[in-house]
Amino acid sequence: MNYVVLEGRERVGGTWDLFRYPGIRSDSEMYTLGYGFKPWRSANAIAGGPEIRAYIEEAARDYRVLEHIRFGRRVTRADWSSRTSRWSVEATDASGASETYDAEFLLLAAGYYRYDAGYSPDFPGLADYRGEVVHPQKWTDDIVHAGKRVLVIGSGATAVTLVPALAETAAHVTMLQRSPTYVAPRPSADPVAAGLRKWLPASTAFALNRWRGVLLGQYFFWLCKRDPARVKKLLSDAARLYLGKDYDVGTHFSPRYNPWEQRLCLAPDGDIYRAIREGRATVVTDEIETFTPRGVRLKSGAELEADLVVTATGLELQAFGGVKLSIDGAAIDPGALTTYRGYMYAGVPNLASIFGYVNASWTLRSDLIAEQVCRLLAHMERKHYASCAPRLDAATDGVENWVDFSSGYFARAKGRFPKQGEREPWRLNQNYLRDWLSARNRLEDGVLQFTPARP
């Protein structure tokens, strides 16, 4: 079976090649964020961006994927022909020249956010500000923060990562948040994982560490849903342990929502708490009234002066990597689709996409979907099928939003992404164990409809 990978960037790594801001790291432990088929051998359970990118490139080289990648190809559209049972895929190269590829099956693995721009609100008075403003997604090596007063706007994973990293050399870092986020401290190195690696073969130790990470993550998510008050107290107590009993944890680290109604932020070794305790960083919970020439004036009347403002205000989401899909020339609206087993879509033939977990490591579901697609392709080749597409039964339950999360970037993307049903196989689970069992399902389940190849 022949395949080609069209990669819009000039080298592998995706997210870990795009983001270059200080401190960029994983927000999940690497035993589940790493590939299931390639053991993570580093002692760092929480790894930095360059280390992760090197691991990805090594995997691509080891498994001879690099020779199939055509870099600098940005896919713009793809049209399915019912007559030929093929996708016609259009892409542009680095020079802007157009290329066309014919494919029997199309797998989209471009993530769920825009690579060319992050989300930045329209801040009043921004044009009056005399300092430098940068979104983390646009960070470059020539941006200098050492010795400067830095203002980070935001409270999500990017802000929580940036603050302690910037605070190492900045004059001072202030994190301005409209509302707080839950922060969970954990060791950057896992002593249990280190012990298993010491006494067991690498592959065995990695498998055990991976399943341990899966089960602990599932248990913690279950506990957040079952007893949110208990988890909220645990996280608040952890913050007070780092920051001291006199710190106002209630204002700055106690959100109005329950744990895991939005994504939790990870703090390896409690780094953001240590930066605050040591006086190198400050958290301010307030709203922006306007930018001023010297910084930001808040609705409380206070003014925060800054030499550099970092707008860690979130991502801009898009479905299918922004590729415009059509069938026989008729455009497909991603928001009108219904997902089948989390990777195919009702009425769309020979198309799959990878969408990971929002409550666990993205790679866990990516691995499962890749296995499912390989099973499906082998089955189609063995049975001489030309195409397959899930069929949505008229009696199927009503559809729901693709992800049940209250985060701002999900709310802004409402309606842009496929929907899900209330039950299998139209349900987008956020449960690795359930998906792992479902991945062994019969392919010819009565929902997935196959079309024989023409003689």
What is the number of residues in the chain? 455
Question: Given this model, what pLDDT does residue 34 score?
Answer: 94
User: Is the pLDDT score of 401 beyond 80?
Assistant: no
Which pLDDT tens digit goes with each residue over 45-73? 999 999 999 999 999 999 999 999 999 99
Q: Are 6 and 70 in contact (CB under 8 A)?
A: yes
Q: 433 or 78, which is more confident?
A: 78
Q: Say which residue, 136 or 114, is predicted with more confidence.
A: 136
pTM: 0.92
Name residue 378's amino acid: A
Tell me, what's the pLDDT at 428?
82
Residue 175 has a pLDDT of 97
Q: Which residues partner with 74 through β-bridges?
A: 92
Strand order in the sheet with 330-331: 98-103, 86-92, 74-81, 324-327, 330-331
User: Does residue 397 surpass a pLDDT of 70?
Assistant: no
Our CA angle for 397, 403, 404, nearest 5°, is 85
Return the closest-CA partner of residue 74 out of 125, 169, 154, 9.
9
Cα–Cα distances in Å, from 167 out to 143, 145, 170, 280, 423? 15, 9, 5, 6, 47
Match 């920051």 to its residue by tokens.
243
* Residue 455 reports pLDDT greater than 80: no
The mean predicted confidence, pLDDT, of the chain is 91
The confidence score (pLDDT) of residue 453 equals: 86
How does residue 398 score in pLDDT terms, banded at 50, 70 and 90?
Answer: low
Domains in the chain, ordered, with CATH?
A: 73-116+316-452 (3.50.50.60), 126-311 (3.50.50.60)
Encode pLDDT of 307-336 as tens digits: 999 999 988 888 899 999 999 999 999 989
Q: Which of 116-125, 218-227, 408-417 has the weakest average pLDDT?
A: 408-417
Q: Provide the residue type at 20 as one letter.
A: R
For residue 396, what pLDDT band results from cuts at 50, 70 and 90?
low
- Which has the minimum average pLDDT: 65-79, 92-106, 181-195, 415-429? 415-429
Residue 135 corresponds to which tokens in the numbers above? 């979104």
For 419, phi then psi, to 5°, come to: -95, 175
Percent of the chain with pLDDT over 70: 96
Say if residues 301 and 134 touch (Cβ distance below 8 Å).
no
Residue 385: pLDDT above 70?
A: yes
Q: How confident is the model at residue 90 (pLDDT cuts 50, 70, 90)?
A: very high
* pLDDT the model gives residue 414: 75
Report pLDDT digits (tens) over 344-363.
999 999 999 999 888 889 99
Q: pLDDT digit string (tens) for 225-265?
A: 999 999 999 999 999 999 998 999 999 999 989 998 888 89
pLDDT tops 80 at residue 393: no
Instruction: Tell whether omega for the bond before 124 is within 30 degrees of 0, i.e. cis.
Output: no
pLDDT computed for residue 193 by the predictor: 85
Closest CA to 424 of 338, 353, 363, 298: 338
Question: pLDDT tens for residues 144-187?
Answer: 999 999 999 999 999 999 999 999 999 999 999 999 999 999 98
Q: The tokens of 67 are what?
A: 């020779």
Residue 296 in this model has a pLDDT that exceeds 90: yes
Tell me the two tokens of residue 3. 């395949």
Q: What is the pLDDT confidence band of residue 407, given thresholds at 50, 70 and 90?
A: low
pLDDT for 260: 86
* Lookup: tokens for 353: 């996409």
